[in-house]
Amino acid sequence: MSEEIKKAVLERLSKVKGPDLEGDLVSLGLLSEIFVSDGRVAFSITVPADRAQALEPLRQAAEKVVKEIPGVETAMVALTAEKAAGSSGPAPVRPAPSKAQVGSVPPPMQASARQQAAPEQPVQKPGVPGVKHIIAVASGKGGVGKSTTTANLALALQANGLKVGVLDADIYGPSVPRLFRVTGRPEPVSGRILKPLEGYGVKVMSMGFMVEEDTPMIWRGPMVISALTQMLREVAWGDLDVLVVDMPPGTGDAQLTMAQQVPLAGAVIVSTPQDLALIDARKGLNMFRRVDVPVLGIIENMSYFLCPDCGGRHDIFGHGGARAEAEKLGVPFLGEVPLDMQIRETSDAGAPVVVSDPDGPHAKIYRDIASKVMAEIARYEGDEQRTAPKIVIE
């Protein structure tokens, strides 16, 4: 079925004229690999870097004809621009719905070039309608329990009386659908706007709803940015006190896109106690500081292990490293989460400990962390709306 849809997509796109109405998208070789999975289609169109914004109608036309194909339920189309090796031409430009977006080359390089070429013009970052605060949960590396922390933090914020949503921005490894035990496909509300799914009263959106769990996402940066933008701004989130964003590990396109496109209330850094994890956590923290996003604090995950048999405490990964790092860097230390079988088992079962054992000690730890996060946000509420970040390579 996927191959049949792919053939139909190519046939329809062969009738869509290319830039300047010359040729068509297929014969001109402007299409990326076409991704098809269970009624969902995604691909990108390569266009001249300096004309990406002007050719947005071309993207819309391609998306429209693909959506009309029988068997296609959703289509995600992005414009991308590539620079030939050795070329001294202009840097590629990503499509974006806001003026705060910069280029599809590494944003620090693009921003630095602009600052040298012209006086800096403050550009306000538009928020997401109905959403009061957006929090990024990030880590410098994978394997530190960031997604589990995101889910329990979101549920703890809800337990503290807030209206909460979760955006799974980890395009390559979406975990939120399983953590919230949510399956299905987002339904369109009107036009391109989708209705988020819901788990335990929390509104959830993830790329995991668009593709099968074992399907790899082999996407370049522009496709990732386009998908992130759609999941953030083309979703009917409704009225939320907090939108918690589960960021992919590291310091790449997704983090910079979030920092540049929306006024983040702040970032929460998740780390384990050992030195190697803290080195990467420090990089993530410094990146958010560099792009003018407040760091709300550090969570030390897998902080210690309590033996269920003997009751003894074991500091498997060391202990106190994140607390010491927070003090050293001058940011709040939000709390310690133990390495515990209950947290792991409930997360794997799609019933995070905050909802499966709301009166237990682990749920209390997450609720305390949630309270500290909101207290930190309150410190910034009186600040003027932040402008697009100034990013400089030294």
Binding site residues for ATP, as ranges? 140-147
**CA separation for the pair 113, 17 (Å, rounded):** 34
331 Cβ neighbours under 8 A, 6+ residues apart: 269, 285, 295, 296, 297, 298
The label of the residue with tokens 């997360």 reads: 347
**CA separation for the pair 204, 224 (Å, rounded):** 18
First and final CA of the chain: distance in angstroms?
51
Q: 371: exposed, middle or buried (C-beta count within 10 Å: 0-12, 13-18, 19+)?
A: middle
Helix, strand, or coil (residue 300): strand
Is the separation of the CB atoms in 122 and 388 below 8 Å? yes
Is the separation of the CB atoms in 237 and 166 below 8 Å? no
Question: Kind of pairing, strands 333-336 and 295-300?
Answer: parallel
Is the separation of the CB atoms in 135 and 162 below 8 Å? no
What distances in angstroms separate CA 15 from CA 7, 20, 46, 249, one per listed residue? 13, 14, 17, 40
**CA separation for the pair 370, 334 (Å, rounded):** 9
Neighbours of 332 (CB within 10 A): 17
Which residues carry a binding-site annotation? 140-147
